[in-house]
Amino acid sequence: MTAKQWSSDWMRAALGLCVLRTLAAGPTYGYAIAAALEESGFGQVKGGTLYPLLTRFETAGWIAVDWRVGAGGPERKYLSLTDAGRREFEAQTIAWRDFTGTVFAHLDSIDLPSTAAPKGTDES
């Protein structure tokens, strides 16, 4: 898939939900989340954007952390959705669909109210 550069405002708005969606598939780790998002067409998600978000989710109790330690020391920090995280994901998904539906409805509307000022209204 070709790397696409989305508007940073859009990415900021959608990234949290998309990360929750990635985690909903099962326990995973930071780099795998970034790779999955890139694979889905979001472009490269930098660690400096991803980890503060994951830390916020952890503080909110939406994700649980499990360090799977190997013989040579710490290896991977596996993250998984908690029950609260799953509920949050479902709630945010419904809200997002509702919001994007509203956006699409507005974009596809045939009878848009005219934004142009009616002629003569500013003439007294």
Partner 1 sequence: MTTTIRENEKWLEILTIELRLLDVNGTRIGDAVATAREFLDDSGERAEDSLGSPQHYAAELNLPATPEAAQGVRRALVRSGFGVLGMFALVESVVPLMNDEPVTLGPVVLAIYLVALILIALLPSLVPVMARMRRRGVIIGIVTAALLGGTIPALLALWAGDRVLLSLPALPVAIVGAVLLVAPALWGQLRHSVTDDPIIAPGSTPSPRAAFRARLFLVVTNWLLVLGAVGLCAMRLLLETLTR
Instruction: List contacts with partner 1 (CB under 8 A).
Output: 29-31, 34, 46-48, 51-52, 55-56, 59, 65, 67, 69, 73-77
Measured from the CB atom, the residue of 14 and 53 that comes closer to partner 1 is: 53
**Smallest distance, partner 1 to C-beta of residue 79, A:** 10
**Smallest distance, partner 1 to C-beta of residue 67, A:** 4
Contact 50, 30 (CB under 8 A): yes
**Smallest distance, partner 1 to C-beta of residue 89, A:** 22
Count of CB atoms situated within 10 Å of the CB of 43: 15
Measured from the CB atom, the residue of 80 and 93 that comes closer to partner 1 is: 80
122 dihedral zone (left: phi>0; alpha: psi -120 to 50; beta):
alpha
20 dihedral zone (left: phi>0; alpha: psi -120 to 50; beta):
alpha
